């Protein structure tokens, strides 16, 4: 074989093929294929109203919020980040087998939490600039999909209250479009979820309503060898992580990679609270005993 011939990457990081896989009546393969094709997909009625109500209550009472800051901030939106350190009310959402399977299908099974954000777009908020969430990582385009975003509507998303703008098919573009590029707004009912490829051009809409808020729960996943946008390993206190379900511990970054910590699985280090491998011995000891 010509050594310059490109071979498809057979790597454990490849997206998982979920063709024909149905979980709780949801055709996972179909959702994944739709995201690959047009850059996004909507899963209707992802969470039932009782679940939305209880998570919303927990978020409203347990989670401290801040006004949105940074470029384009108007004071008309607020946000809360680092949700996994602040409440346990949504753990089951992160672990939902449908979400897990979709993310595995989009970016492969070695994935982790990138950011968790609660946001509320208030009346009077202006439209966000169209942007790509994966622009934070300066990786040349085109590149394989490494970010998979999910946004769950707490309130109904309507054109009036600023439903998210998406530019279909733009996840494969290598050049930035003009801000006037045609976009669609994702109108969806409370409990529904929109997922998109991190390379997709999108932005929050203007809330032109008089008194209708737009609250949403944003979960971003990335391939597990990248540095997350919010450093989960530092963001969530160790004592909190220790109480999490095993799968969630892995998802927030305590997964084996490279040398782990001193050759050990990060979860063993977390449990024992010992960073130096207890089996490590001095060089003198090795010389004397080998």
Ligand X SMILES: O=C(O)CCC(=O)C(=O)O
Work out which of 96, 133, 197, 230 binds Fe ion, going by CB under 5 A: 133
Tell me the window of 31-39, 59-67, 94-102, 199-207 that interacts with ligand X (CB under 6 A).
199-207
Contacting residues for 275 by C-beta, under 8 A, at least 6 apart: 261, 262, 269
Q: Which CB, 145 or 164, lies closer to ligand X?
A: 164
Name the binder of 39 from Fe ion, ligand X, none, CB < 5-8 A by kind: none
- The CB-nearest residue to Fe ion is 133
Q: How far is CA 20 from CA 30, 101, 196, 247, in A?
A: 8, 12, 20, 24
Tell me the window of 35-43, 132-140, 157-165, 215-223 that interacts with Fe ion (CB under 5 A).
132-140
Q: Does 230 bind ligand X (CB under 6 A)?
A: no
Inter-axis angle of helices 28-38 and 97-107, nearest 10: 40
212 touches 64 (CB < 8 A):
no
Give least dist CB 259 to Fe ion, A: 34
Work out which of 18, 202, 250, 264 binds ligand X, going by CB under 6 A: 202
Work out which of 204, 224, 228, 236 binds ligand X, going by CB under 6 A: 204
Q: How far is CA 216 from CA 72, 105, 133, 176, 201, in A?
A: 19, 23, 17, 26, 19
Tell me the window of 103-111, 197-205, 254-262, 280-288 that interacts with ligand X (CB under 6 A).
197-205
Q: How far is CA 100 from CA 15, 32, 120, 262, in A?
A: 12, 12, 25, 30
Work out which of 108, 191, 199, 203 binds ligand X, going by CB under 6 A: 203
207 touches 161 (CB < 8 A):
yes
Site residues for ligand X, window 102-131 (CB under 6 A)?
Answer: 121, 128
Q: Does 160 bind Fe ion (CB under 5 A)?
A: no
Classified as helix, coil or strand, 267 is: helix
Tell me the window of 94-102, 168-176, 196-204, 269-277 that interacts with ligand X (CB under 6 A).
196-204
Give least dist CB 282 to ligand X, A: 51
- Cα(40)–Cα(207) distance, rounded to whole angstroms? 22
Strand partners, 217: 118, 152
- Residues near ligand X (CB under 6 A) are 121, 128, 133, 164, 202-204
């Amino acid at each position: 074989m010509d050594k310059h011939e490109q071979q498809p990457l057979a790597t454990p990081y490849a997206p998982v093929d979920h063709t024909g896989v149905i979980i709780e009546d949801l055709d996972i393969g179909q959702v994944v294929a739709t995201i690959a094709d047009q850059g996004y997909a909507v899963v209707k009625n992802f969470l039932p109203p009782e679940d939305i109500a209880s998570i919303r209550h927990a978020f409203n009472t347990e989670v401290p919020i801040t006004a949105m800051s940074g470029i384009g901030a108007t004071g008309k939106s607020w946000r809360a980040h680092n949700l996994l350190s602040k409440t346990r009310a949504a753990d089951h959402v992160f672990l939902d087998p449908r979400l897990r399977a979709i993310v595995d299908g989009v970016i492969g099974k070695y994935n982790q939490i990138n950011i968790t954000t609660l946001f509320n777009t208030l009346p009077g908020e202006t439209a966000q600039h169209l942007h790509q969430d994966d622009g934070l990582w300066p990786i040349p385009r085109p590149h394989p999909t490494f970010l998979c975003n999910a946004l769950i509507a707490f309130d109904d998303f309507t054109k009036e209250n600023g439903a998210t703008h998406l530019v279909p098919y733009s996840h494969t573009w290598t050049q930035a479009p003009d801000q006037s590029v045609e976009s669609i707004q994702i109108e969806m009912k409370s409990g529904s979820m929109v997922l998109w490829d991190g390379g997709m051009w999108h932005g929050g809409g203007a809330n032109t309503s008089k008194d209708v808020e737009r609250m949403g729960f944003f979960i971003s996943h990335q391939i597990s060898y990248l540095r997350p946008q919010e450093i989960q390993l530092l963001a969530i206190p160790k004592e909190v992580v220790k109480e999490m379900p095993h799968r969630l511990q892995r998802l927030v970054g305590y997964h084996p990679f490279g040398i782990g910590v001193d050759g050990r699985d990060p979860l063993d280090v977390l449990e024992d609270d010992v960073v130096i491998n207890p089996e490590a011995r001095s060089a003198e000891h090795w010389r004397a005993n080998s």
